[in-house]
Chains A and B, each alone.
Chain A
Amino acid sequence: MTDYSAFGNLTIGQYLPYGSLVHHLDPRAKIVMFSLLVAGVTFASSFSASVLLLAALMGIVRLSRTPLRYALQGLRPALPWIAIFATLQLLFYQGQYGSDVCSTIWSWGFINITTCSIRQIGLMVLRLLEFMIVISLLTLTTTTAELTHGMDLLLSPLRRLRFPAHELSLIFAIALRFAPTLAGELERIMKAQASRGADFGEQGRLRFIQRTRNMLPLMVPLFLSALRRAEDLTLAMEARGYTGGKGRTSYVTLSAQPADYLALGTVCVFCAILFFLPLETLDTLIVATVSHNMQEVYSLIAH
């Protein structure tokens, strides 16, 4: 490995300061909106719903002015796994798809490829794509500071139920704050070990087992240093009079604008449409149309 940068091609957690409409939304609104979209992606069980979602997400990507390439970059390391899962599903998926009857395309021994398995794979790939876009979009358009304040304020009503909202968001903030520091530390440890002859292997795609094994001697020094830093940080926080969330005021204030409510409303309506419209029937309808089964088309429309 010639390149020791630890988080070189990680896009989740990167922020692109393009200052678009999406960037300027209230982080609270954004967190709720993107959670709704994640729920949408999770529960969309039909092809039509998935395609609609993808279209909507593409629209948001355009609005945010972030290059699509960035939003999709995080997908690259996951590609081999997607391929493996897709193959497994293709070969062994036996179930039914909705009310549809599966027709076998090819069968050999216990391997049974049906129209249903192909559809299932398509749905899975779409879903992963959408997850990636949703999560990347949130972090690409929102700074970590905004995210933590958004979380803090969203969870603050729960404080009355003794839920440690402030503490939780502080933990989150500190984790984010120290991510680049620890990445730099890891880089330093790797260089120090490499200079004494440690071999971190070539960046071969298929040598990931060996690469993982080579990471083990890095973990102990990294953890030790993280613990030492934690101890220092506790002292520094105590010295600055930190005694927990009680009686604390906040330097950062958020105020929701009409645009935030509008955006939130739009997403709510969109998700409701996905949820309540009979999109699975639409799926069947499209399949029937494509396969020229006019009789079924009429019966479905009449239905």
Chain B
Amino acid sequence: MIVVEDVHHTYDVDRAHPVTALKGINLHIEEGEYVVIIGRNGSGKSTLAKHFNALLIPTSGDVSIKGMNTKDPQHLTTIRHSVGMVFQVPDNQIIATVVEEDVAFGPENMGLPLQELRARVDEALTVVDMLDHRTRPPHMLSAGQKQRVVIAGAIAMRPACLVLDEATAMLDPRGRRDVLDTMQQLHAQGVTIIAITHFMREAVEGTRVIVMDQGNIAMDGPPQRIFSQADELRQLGLDLPQVTQLAERIHRRTPAFPTPLLSVEECVEELCRLPQSAVVSS
């Protein structure tokens, strides 16, 4: 679905001090994957994400979406229609003064007929559970609701892939949970999800975790494997999810306790299974 080949990207804001954000990235993302990209500030996560729908063009190397190279201006609209993007601040992504009209913005750009526009707006608002708010002005909504409207705007274009660039950073825990649930639902429907996040807890949601560091991919693999390498992660300035940390500590005292554990449910289950003697001895 997405193929990234030896991509370098240099920001030329200041000619004397060019900033190299990506230093030779190679990456294949298959259809239907749920990829979570984590890394420190300035590790190049956002820069990489903006290459996925041709908002940025690589300084050298190639990015292709379903075989279409992002360097080719001919494919630009098709690429934008097949890869949706959601950014951090919901307020700055809403264009219209009414919720449903904002959701319709993308499909309008695709030149769809009215019937189809209506169907897509209904469908997208149903997915994010905002149908009741369709005629409200966006500035009256909470941040979490606004971000769901933005997601509805992206999925109304029926993209094959959805990229979330720290889309949950401004939300409270409830709003974050809502957005993550929506992502799981879309993933179940076969949409490829690429999420960039600072929250380790969210990294667990995916089927694949990519750790970036200083413009390179430092680690790449299923969350189980990534989070078993606690020391490497710490060296990259990252932490384990809270539950995983807890499990690791228990494991150090009671080697029978499995690690890594990624969800609270798993941890509770394992704790219950722990023999009484082990608990007493430690």
A180 nearest CB neighbor, chain B only: B139
A140 to B138, CA, bound (A): 19
How far, in angstroms, from A126 to B112 measured CA to CA in the complex? Answer: 50
A143 to B135 CA separation, bound complex (whole angstroms)? 11
User: Chain A residue with minimal CB distance to B85?
Assistant: A239
* B77 in contact (CB, < 8 A): yes
Whole-angstrom CA separation of A170 from B100 in the bound complex: 16
If A242-B109, A247-B111, A249-B117 touch, does A235 touch B87 (CB 8 Å cutoff)? yes
A233 interface residue per 8 A CB criterion: yes
Given contacts A236-B92, A240-B153, A241-B80, A249 and B113 within 8 Å (CB-CB): yes
Q: Which of these, A177, A233, A240, A251, contacts B100 with CB under 8 Å?
A: A251
B172 within 8 A of A: no
Choice from A170, A239, A250 contacting B53 with Cβ under 8 Å: A239
Q: Most chain-A CB neighbours within 10 Å: which of B91, B109, B118, B139? A: B109
Q: Chain B residues near A252: list those with CB within 8 A.
A: 101
**Option from A144, A237, A243 in Cβ contact (under 8 Å) with B97:** A144
Report Cα–Cα, A29/B10, bound state, in Å.
53
Is there a chain A Cβ closer than 8 Å to B96's Cβ?
Answer: yes
Which residues of chain A have C-beta atoms less than 8 A from B55's C-beta? Answer: 235, 238-239
Please encode chain A, from 172 to 183, with 1 for each CB lying within 8 Å of some chain B CB and 0 for all others: 011011001100
Tell yes or no: B22 within 8 A of A by CB: no
Q: How far apart are the CA atoms of A180 and B139 in the complex, in Å?
A: 7
Total B residues in contact with A, Cβ cutoff 8 Å: 41
Chain A residues whose C-beta falls within 8 Å of the C-beta of B124 in the assembled complex:
none
Q: Smallest Cβ distance from A263 to chain B, in angstroms?
A: 24
Interface string of A239-269 (1 = CB under 8 A from B): 1111100011111110000000000000000
Residue pair A233, B93 in contact (C-beta under 8 Å): yes
Residue of A whose beta carbon sits closest to that of B113: A249
Contact B110 A241 (CB under 8 A): yes
B186: interface (CB < 8 Å)? no
- Kindly identify, within residues 186 to 216 of chain B, every residue whose CB is under 8 Å from any CB belonging to chain A: none
Cβ-closest chain B residue relative to A185:
B91
Complex contact A173–B105 (CB within 8 A) = no
In Å, the complex CA distance between A242 and B93 comes to 13
In the assembled complex, which residues on chain B have CB atoms less than 8 Å from the CB atom of A236? 85, 87, 92-93, 95, 150
| Residues 104-120 of B at the A interface (beta carbon under 8 Å) | 104-114, 117-118
The contact sample of 7 A-B pairs, CB cut-off 8 A, is: A143-B98, A145-B96, A229-B89, A232-B93, A236-B150, A242-B109, A249-B114
With A232-B87, A233-B92, A240-B109 known, 20 other A-B pairs at CB within 8 A are: A170-B95, A173-B95, A173-B97, A176-B97, A184-B139, A229-B92, A232-B89, A232-B92, A235-B87, A236-B95, A238-B55, A239-B80, A239-B87, A240-B80, A240-B105, A247-B111, A249-B111, A249-B117, A252-B101, A253-B114
Q: Write the residues of chain B forming the contact surface with A, with a CB cutoff of 8 angstroms.
A: 50, 53, 55, 77, 80-81, 84-85, 87, 89, 91-98, 100-101, 104-114, 117-118, 121, 137-139, 150, 153-154, 157
